[in-house]
Structures are given as structure tokens and as C-alpha cells.
Amino acid sequence: MTRPTPSLPSRIALAFGSFFAIIGNAELAGRVARLRRGEVLPEAPDEADGRVAAGPAVEAAPAASAPAAPVLREAPHESALQLLGLLQRDARLIDFVEEDMTAYADAEVGAAARIVHEGCRKVLREHFTLEPVRAEAEGSRITLEPGFDAAAVRVTGRVVGEPPFTGSLAHRGWRVVETRLPKLAESHDAAIVAQAEVEL
């Protein structure tokens, strides 16, 4: 059964919503990272009866060869809340994402997205220094040697065998090299990302 392709407003809302969901949920962030690396995630339980769909039997590997589970660390949530507050202040991001876009034409959504884009760009440039992960131009042919940093480079397409891999650079990636978030007063409640406004 073919699933319908989401509309432009739906994709914009999904992108912004996913951004903050990933910041606030370490488990979700890990699943998204594995998907972006091309890993196959376990199938979700069948919604009808709660059972996992049957698949081919796989022999359990010896316990000694199983990789150690990664140690998970929780990111400080105040920084994420502070960033969300800055994006709301300068880009009205929360207002944009929480707005019901079904009543608007694509052109209207695009005009609003331009304003949100300008505000988000202002926040990023004011509070972060970014640099590409790879220095080569997008579209150029590069070779990934054995031992390349899989956390910084995701290999897509038909991945067969072991490195070296040679392919086209589809995206240079981004790395944060400096963060300049404002310091918070001891009494500041970071959970209030936008104050209610009362007009007298």
C-alpha cells in the first residue's frame, strides 16, 4: 500500500518538531542517528495484536562477540530550553510550529517560513560558530580510508564490503566549534521559553 507524500507545510512542521524532539530525547536521537547511518532498526510491534512480525530465525551470536552497550549520558536540558527560547524570541519558531497550517496555501506558508528562516539564521550566527565536517566541495569524489570517523561521516547508497569507500560528497556536514549561549541568572526559569503577554 502506497503511503501519501506529506505536503510542504507538513514537512516543515515535521522538521521543526523533530529537531526539538531529538534535542529532548536521547533515545530518539540514537534511533535517528542509526537510521541516518543506514542501520536497520528492529521492527515495531504489530499494532493489531501487539506482536512483533515474524522474521527469519537468526542464530544468537556468542556472548563474547557481542559489542558492549554504549554508555548513555544525559545532555543538560537547560541549554536546549535556552536555545528554544532564543529561537522563539527571534524567529517565533514555537508559534510557527504550533500553528495549524492546513488552512493556509503553500505560498502563505512559504512566506512565513522565510521569516522563521531569517530569525533562526540570526540565532545560529549569533550564538554558534559552525564549520563543515568535510572541506571538499559537495559533488566531488572522495575516498574514505579504513578507520574513518563513522560518527562524522555517514555512508549511504550501496554499501558493500569494508573501506576504503569511494563516492560523491552529497553533504559536507556541520560541526559546532564554539557555543556562545548567554549565562542565566540563578533565579531564571529556563522552562519559560516564551512569556505570556497581557496588553493593558
How does pLDDT run across 101-116, given as a tens digit for each residue? 999 999 999 999 999 9
CA distance 150 to 51: 33
Helix, strand and coil percent figures for the chain, each rounded to 5: 40, 10, 50
pLDDT at 24: 63
In a domain? residue 1: no
Flag whether pLDDT at 87 surpasses 60.
Answer: yes
Please name which of 71, 107, 68, 114 lies closest in space to residue 91, comparing C-alpha atoms.
114
What are the φ and ψ backbone dihedral angles of 51, each rounded to 5 degrees?
Answer: -95, 150
Is 165 a member of any domain? yes
Number of H helices, E strands in the chain: 5, 4
Query: What cell numbers appear for 12 in the block?
Result: 516543515
Mapping DSSP to helix (H, G, I), strand (E, B) and coil, where does residue 168 land? strand
Q: Is the pLDDT of residue 172 over 90?
A: yes
Write out the residue range of the structural domain in which residue 35 sits: 8-41+76-179
Is there a domain that residue 51 lies in? no
Residue 123, Cα to own-chain centre: how many angstroms? 17
User: How large is the average pLDDT for residues 80-104?
Assistant: 95
Answer whether residue 59 is part of any domain: no
* 63 backbone φψ class: left, alpha, beta (φ>0; ψ -120 to 50): alpha
* Residue 109 covered by a domain: yes
Q: How far apart are CA 97 and CA 18, in angstroms?
A: 11
According to the model, what pLDDT value does residue 180 have?
Answer: 95
Exposed, middle or buried: residue 165 (CB in 10 Å: 0-12, 13-18, 19+)? middle
Q: Is residue 191 part of a domain?
A: no
Q: Is the pLDDT of residue 70 over 90?
A: no
pLDDT, the chain, mean = 82
Confidence of residue 125 (pLDDT cuts 50, 70, 90): very high
pLDDT for the residue numbered 101: 92
> Is the entire prediction scored with pTM above 0.85?
no
DSSP 140: -
200 located within any domain: no
pLDDT higher than threshold 80 for residue 46: no
- pLDDT value for 42: 66
Phi, psi of 131 (to 5 degrees): -145, 150
Residue 70 located in a structural domain: no
**Average pLDDT of the segment spanning 153-157:** 94
Q: Cα–Cα distance between 110 and 131 in angstroms, integer?
A: 27
Note the pLDDT of residue 81: 94
For the chain, how many structural domains are there in total? 1
